[in-house]
């Protein structure tokens, strides 16, 4: 019985770690203007990026693009997000070619996921004015590359993201690479990470 009791914490460890990961993911998923999240995984020749950002960081607003100027801004941002090779500043020596690019956002005409966190969202404001208090628009980008020379991926330079989208002030990065897994924060002044 004593051995069973001593083994119990180790048996429960995977569940505790999974719960901690969910809590961490939820806390990093909070909508904060100026802050984006980037998950990067390098596995063999496959290099994958998942970028999540408030649309405020990318286009400068979160409302639906109704004016010609807003629509042009959204179209330009979409075009820049699809230039993934330049956006992630991948070294030419790594010989990476994009195989998948997918962008999602209500601004691009995608249907937003149901938000069950705000029970009051369906109620009209008392003063008769339209409320945008709970209206948060996100942009999600997913990229997959195949790299013929992945050993040439020694650093990840995110400076082009900061230059292209100056509303982005920091990026919370989770990186999984052959040398291990770690989390860090990139800023315009500290935009280079080691693989």
User: Would you say residue 84 lies in a domain?
Assistant: yes
Distances (CA, A) of 94 to 5, 153, 160, 194: 51, 6, 18, 15
User: Cβ of 139: how many Cβ atoms within 10 Å?
Assistant: 26
By the 8 A CB rule, do 90 and 159 touch? no
Same structural domain for residues 77 and 162?
Answer: yes
How far is it, in rounded angstroms, from Cα 99 to Cα 124? Answer: 45
Structure token pair of residue 23: 């809590």
User: Would you say residue 120 lies in a domain?
Assistant: no
User: Would you say residue 116 lies in a domain?
Assistant: no
> What residues make up the domain containing 61?
33-109+136-194
Asked whether the whole model's pTM tops 0.85, one would answer no
Q: Decide which of 14 and 173 is more confident.
A: 173
How far is it, in rounded angstroms, from Cα 51 to Cα 151? Answer: 23
User: Model confidence over 87-102: pLDDT tens digits?
Assistant: 999 999 999 999 999 9
Percentage of the chain beyond pLDDT 90 is 60
């Amino acid at each position: 019985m004593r051995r069973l009791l001593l083994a119990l914490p180790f048996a429960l460890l995977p569940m505790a770690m999974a719960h901690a990961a969910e809590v961490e993911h939820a806390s990093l998923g909070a909508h904060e203007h100026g802050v984006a999240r980037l998950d990067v995984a390098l596995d063999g020749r496959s290099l994958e990026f998942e970028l999540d950002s408030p649309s405020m960081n990318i286009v400068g607003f979160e409302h639906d693009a109704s004016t010609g100027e807003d629509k042009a801004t959204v179209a330009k941002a979409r075009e820049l997000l699809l230039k993934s090779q330049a956006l992630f500043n991948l070294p030419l020596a790594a010989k990476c070619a994009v195989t998948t690019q997918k962008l999602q956002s209500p601004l691009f005409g995608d249907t937003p996921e149901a938000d069950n966190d705000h029970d009051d969202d369906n109620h009209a404001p008392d003063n008769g004015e339209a409320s945008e208090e709970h209206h948060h628009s996100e942009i999600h980008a997913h990229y997959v590359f195949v790299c013929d020379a992945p050993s040439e991926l020694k650093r990840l330079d995110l400076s082009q993201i900061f230059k292209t989208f100056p509303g982005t002030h920091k990026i919370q990065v989770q990186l999984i690479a052959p040398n291990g897994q770690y989390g860090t924060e990139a800023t315009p002044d500290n935009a280079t990470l080691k693989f």
